[in-house]
Amino acid sequence: MQSRSEHRTKPAKKYYLSNRDLLIIAILSGIGGVMSTYVGYLGNFLNRLFAVPFGAGQFISGLHVFWIILAAGLVRRPGAATAAGLLKGVIELFTGSTHGVAIVLISLLQGFFVDLVLLIFRRHNLPVYALAGGLGAASNVIAFQVLYFSGVPISYILFISGIAFISGIIFAGGFGNGVLEIVRQARPFRLGLGPPPQQAKHFTRSLRSIGLVLTILLAVAFSAGAIYYFAVVYEPPWSGPECLVEGEVERTLNFQLSQFAEEETSIIAELVGDFQHVPPQEYTGIPVNIILEAARPKAGAGLVKVIAGDGYTVEFPLEDILNDDALLLIQEDDALRLIAGNYPGGHWVRQVLKFVVE
């Protein structure tokens, strides 16, 4: 006769997210959503550095997926990465993402691809995290292609997809695994992550120390840059898009477009850039010459610098601006954009922050 213990079956594996899991996802998604604003700033800075309207920022796109990898590695349940991606996207939307509601879809896709890779391989180690991070980071390029990058050569899309994939391997997979290794060793609040992976024992102690130092240095550098950005550069979205005219003017002007609503006009313009082409379409906004005239440039001033929030700068002769009715400032995605109808694509500036008259 069989005993009761012989009839007992192993408890079914739990796939639901516990309260602790939800708390971890909420915390990491909240931090990640806010920090992705800073990563977007870094991306725009790289675009400026490489003199392209978009694409160079994919070098650091893995930092967007880093937080999703952390959530997946700490929770270790199916759907954790997707949930983290969705919540991160919503938070990023409400903290001022220039991509608008599309950022929710993009972040959700990133989490989905991380979950998909983890589900297929059923392992939590460096190679799997690297592949998950790479695919998650590259997925944003495809989403942007569908939503924004019309007319861009497919070769360039594949090129920046490759950059994003490598970035995901390094910053999401490698950096994420490094942080998870630190957490495994510290085991705060007994997260129950288990011992370090078996393959980690094959590395020498010195190699592990180097990886630990590099991870800490990257985290410190990233945090320091974020503190600077939010303290000096960032403006909360609820303040509304504002712009400043300063320099050699009689009246320093801090304005919103609504102050010039009576001067609103529309033009038909075509964006022709080195990597992007937007067919002729209608843009409605305020002529820049109207704004500058309100600031009253001083005698002898001859140059106007247009500066974006990421530091991107273009220059125009003051006289040309004052006589150009096809140079508009419009509001787009909760930011200001310069439409330069008579200039090449590099003069069409997003996230305009100020005009400096010299």
CATH number at residue 284: 3.90.420.10
| Residue 235 vs residue 310, higher pLDDT | 310
Q: What is the mean pLDDT of residues 288-304?
A: 92
8 Å CB contact between 29 and 88: yes
Give the pLDDT confidence of 346-358 residue by residue, as tens digits: 899 988 989 999 9
Q: What is the pLDDT of residue 5?
A: 46
Rounded Cα gap, residues 246 and 295, in angstroms: 8
Total of domains in the chain: 2
Residue 207 and residue 174 share a domain = yes
Q: Is residue 332 part of a domain?
A: yes
* Structure tokens given for 267: 């033009």
Rounded Cα gap, residues 214 and 349, in angstroms: 36
Which residue, 233, 264, 293, sits at the end of a domain? 233
Residue 227 and residue 308 share a domain = no
For tokens 């500058």, name the residue. Answer: 292
Q: Is residue 10 part of a domain?
A: no
Q: Is residue 45 part of a domain?
A: yes
SS3 326: coil
Residue 260 and residue 214 share a domain = no
Confidence class for position 200, pLDDT limits 50, 70, 90: very low
Residue 188 and residue 40 share a domain = yes
Residue 30 and residue 177 share a domain = yes
Residue 262 and residue 277 share a domain = yes
Q: Is residue 203 part of a domain?
A: yes
Confidence class for position 211, pLDDT limits 50, 70, 90: low
pTM beyond 0.75: no
Which residue, 185, 206, 233, sits at the end of a domain? 233
Q: Is residue 13 part of a domain?
A: no
Q: Is residue 8 part of a domain?
A: no
| Residue 55 vs residue 348, higher pLDDT | 348
Residue 312 and residue 228 share a domain = no
Which residue, 175, 201, 233, sits at the end of a domain? 233
Measure CA 243 to chain center. 22
Residue 200 and residue 254 share a domain = no
Domain that holds residue 96: 19-233
Residue 302 and residue 186 share a domain = no
Is residue 108 scored above 50 in pLDDT? yes
Q: Is residue 90 part of a domain?
A: yes
Is residue 329 scored above 90 in pLDDT? yes
Residue 164 and residue 45 share a domain = yes
Residue 117 and residue 247 share a domain = no
Q: Is residue 204 part of a domain?
A: yes
Exposed, middle or buried, 318 (CB in 10 Å: 0-12/13-18/19+)? middle
Q: For the chain, what percent of residues have pLDDT higher than 90?
A: 37
Task: Give the number of other Cβ atoms within 10 Å of residue 14's Cβ.
Answer: 9
SS3 277: strand
8 Å CB contact between 76 and 43: no
Rounded Cα gap, residues 22 and 24, in angstroms: 5
Residue 352 and residue 268 share a domain = yes
